[in-house]
Amino acid sequence: MIWNETKECMSRDEMTALQSARLVKTVDYVYHNVEFYRKKMQQLGLLPGDIKGVEDITKLPFTTKDDLRDNYPFGLFATPKSQIVRIHASSGTTGKATVVGYTRRDLDIWSECVARCLTMAGVTKEDIIQVGYGYGLFTGGLGAHGGAEKIGAMVVPMSTGNSKKLTTMMVDFGVTAIACTPSYLLHISELLEAENLIKDLKLRAAICGAEPWTDKMRSEIEGRLHINAHDIYGLSEVMGPGVACDCIYHKGLHVCEDHFYPEILDTSTLKPVKAGETGELVFTTITKEGLPLIRYRTKDLTSINYDTCECGRTSARISKFKGRVDDMLIIRGVNVFPSQVEAALVDIKEVTPHYMIIVDRVNNLDTLEIQVEIDEKYFSDEIKGLEALTQKISHTINQALGLNAKIRIVEPQTLTRSEGKAVHVIDKRKLY
Amino acid sequence: MNAKQLSVFIENRQGRLGEVLDVLKRNKINIISLSLADTTEYGLLRLIVNDPASGREKLSAEGFSTMLTDVLVIKIEHKAGSLQELLKILSEKQINVEYMYGLSIDGETASVVLKPSDLKKADKILVSEGVKTMSAEDISKLN
């Protein structure tokens, strides 16, 4: 099944022509509506007319997460605030969140993209779909929700946090599809197995994303739940979930290329690599109104394939991710930068600035432990004193990351010092 | 009279307690009493030693988190009910015990190391009740 055959199956030439026309329009639009881009283009001596098609895209400047931070909160928006109907936010590299805004039309396009992805997973209006992503500032919940409603499926907006209720409703409602993180789905499958409920399920498909996962993990999910599991990709800066998704053949994720123009660049030269070679994924949004981004560096490593897929779609496919260019971690679907932890710890006088982040996966749920050294001045001879301190640190970290972290106090001088390249993260999960 | 307790933070990993004891042994610091409070991740070793200041210095130099805390070392009679009587005196004056452990000096008297919620007040009450406490100097002579 294909949601939008016209767009998803157009010839490569037609696609390139469409992308070129939309890029030209977008460049003109940002030049006249976003001071940040106008200045950047002026510095490079570029006028909107210099961009005649996608072949000229390399002339354009990049956009990074830091640019969003520097223009916090709404500095890169291209429309007046009155045109913005929704805000989402994700972690920034330090204290400030990355804020994104959508016009009514942006939301429609987003739903269209998610609808394409859900259709790749075989979801139709006959389905009952549980959305197990967090609803709120995170794009996962409302993003998946919009696409599922667009298809006309019956949506159960579970959000996260109550697995017991989720499994009960999954059985009682006869849920046929679920959208959540892959690790959460594995956790759910364990709960279902423990209660011997697998046999009572009507579940057929899962659309999992918000964190990297391997083919091995997919086989495990599919085997345990007897379903097909699909990988959906997105990032809030570009749109949210729905930027790309894999079809039943699982040979890469089909990009909604008529809205998001992908480039794969060499990580050191930032020049395009050949199709099939690994590099950093860079997106230019070519239809967005609220927050159009030119050459946004995702920092995700992948390769691209322009061959027609066995499913009939001609849209370019990106491979499952091969890693990150930066040190961002994705923990329970939440983006975490070690620099955020560092920034939070600086504000706590009782701890030294040395820390170690340990990420692991226990019973298919990500665990986050942060080890800190206590300044000897604030040491206590009472357990309750140390526990109060641990709680204070824990609270500050949770506020900063939007994620519960276990705080472990360690002896002084035991954590790596930041001279040279200090290792601040131990990730025991095997995600790539 | 206050005594000084040497407190040491110890991570729960193999051999760590032994390393603390090794530092004390090398520096000829005698342990008179100790208590080890444990949690799932770390322990707090509380020590009464003959020379707490030197003990702290040596342990800090070897990278341990340490501190000196004022505690009361209280002599009580070696007979049933004496500890209960002592605690009754304190609780009647709304003084709580943060922690407590035993210390044995000789056959006739028993002692307890006690950290009260209000040390000054507790000390005063004990003096007025005629309860004997030991000073840091008394303890240093217990070798």
Model confidence over B100-126: pLDDT tens digits?
A: 999 877 667 788 999 999 999 999 999
Domains of chain A (ranges; CATH) run 5-326 (3.40.50.12780), 331-427 (3.30.300.30)
| pLDDT tens track for A27-77 | 999 999 999 999 999 999 999 999 999 999 999 999 999 999 999 999 999
Count the residues in chain B. 143
* pLDDT exceeds cutoff 60 at A421: no
Contact list in A for residue B7 (CB cut-off 8 A) is: 379, 381
A-chain residues near B10 (CB < 8 A): 411
The chain B residue lying nearest A414, using CA atoms, is B63
**CB of B63 within 8 A of CB of B3?**
no
d(CA A79, nearest CA chain B) in Å? 53
Min Cα separation B10/chain A (Å): 7
- Min Cα–Cα distance to chain A from B133, Å: 21
Residue B121: what pLDDT?
95
Beta carbons of A298 and A282 less than 8 angstroms apart: yes
For chain A, the straight-line distance linking the first and the last C-alpha, in angstroms and rounded, comes to 29
Q: Do B37 and A383 touch (CB under 8 A)?
A: yes
% residues pLDDT > 70 (chain A): 98
How far is A355 from A408, CA to CA, in rounded Å? 10
User: Residue B9 in contact with residue B44, Cβ under 8 Å?
Assistant: yes
To the nearest whole angstrom, how far is the Cα of B109 from the nearest Cα of chain A? Answer: 27
Per-residue pLDDT, averaged over A376-391, amounts to 90
Are the beta carbons of B64 and A380 separated by less than 8 Å?
no
The mean pLDDT of A171-191, rounded to a whole number, is 95
B44 CB neighbours in chain A (<8 A) are 381-383, 386
User: Rounded distance, CA A61 to CA B74, Å?
Assistant: 76
Task: Confirm whether the ipTM is greater than 0.85.
Answer: no
pLDDT at B35 over 80: yes
Tokens found for residue A194: 């423990």
For residue range A310-324, list pLDDT tens digits in order.
999 999 999 999 999
User: For chain B, percent helix, then strand, then coil, each to nearest 5?
Assistant: 35, 40, 30
- Per domain, the residue ranges of chain B are 3-69, 71-140
pLDDT of A79 > 60? The answer is yes
What is A315-378 written as a DSSP string? S-EEPSP-EESS--EEETTEEE-HHHHHHHHHT-TTEEEEEEEEEEEETTEEEEEEEEEEPGGG
pLDDT tens digits for A220-243?
999 999 999 999 999 999 999 999
- In CATH, what number does B3-69 get? 3.30.2130.10
Interfacial A residues in 112-131 facing B (CB < 8 Å):
none
B11: which chain A residues are within 8 Å (Cβ-Cβ)? 410-411, 414
Structure tokens at A204: 């057929």
Residue B142 or residue A200, greater confidence: A200
Candidates A378, A119, A156; CA nearest to A230 is A119
pLDDT at A142: 98
Mutate to test the interface with A, among B10, B65, B72, B117 (most CBs of A within 10 A): B65
Instruction: Tell me the count of A-B CB pairs closer than 8 A.
Output: 48
Question: Per residue in A237-287, pLDDT tens?
Answer: 999 999 999 999 999 999 999 999 999 999 999 999 999 999 999 999 999
pLDDT for the residue numbered A416: 66
For residue A7, which of A317, A313, A318 has the smallest C-alpha distance? A313
Whether residue A410 and residue B11 make contact (CB cut-off 8 A), yes or no, is yes
Q: Give the pLDDT confidence score for residue A150 in this predicted structure.
A: 98
C-alpha A181: how far from chain center:
11
Cα separation, A267 vs A278, in Å, equals: 9
What distance in Å separates the CA atoms of residue A363 and residue A230, rounded to the nearest whole number?
21
Query: Buried b / exposed e across A8-39, counting CB within 10 Å, b at 16+?
Result: bbbeeeebbebbbebbbebbebbbeebebbee
A399 to chain B, closest Cα gap in Å: 23
Q: What share of chain A is helix, strand, coil (3-state, %, to 5)?
A: 35, 25, 40
Which residue among B63, B65, B99 sits closest to A382, beta carbon to beta carbon? B99
At residue A420, does pLDDT exceed 60?
A: no
**With bands split at pLDDT 50, 70 and 90, how would you rate the model's confidence at A419?**
low
B71-140 has the same fold as B3-69: yes
Q: How many CB atoms within 10 Å of residue A223?
A: 11
For residue B108, the model assigns a pLDDT of 72
Residue of A354, A372, A375, A381 to mutate when probing chain B, most B C-beta within 10 A: A381
Which pLDDT score, from 0 to 100, does residue A418 have? 52
State both tokens at A399: 């506020």
Q: Would you say A177 and A202 are in contact if contact means Cβ atoms under 8 Å apart?
A: no
Query: With the C-alpha atoms ordered A211, A216, A220, A221, is the resulting torsion angle positive or negative?
Result: positive
Least confident of A125-129, B2-6, B11-15: B11-15
Q: Compute the nearest-CA separation of B108 from chain A (Å).
A: 30
**Interface of chain B toward chain A, CB-CB under 8 angstroms:** 5, 7, 9-11, 37, 39, 41-42, 44, 46, 60, 63-67, 69, 98-99, 115
Q: Please give the C-alpha separations between residue A113 and each of A3, A120, A245, A256, in angstroms, as whole numbers.
A: 9, 11, 9, 7
Q: Whole-angstrom Cα distance, residue A381 to residue B17?
A: 16
pLDDT at B143: 61
Class of domain B71-140: alpha beta
Local confidence band at A402 (pLDDT 50, 70, 90 cut-offs): confident
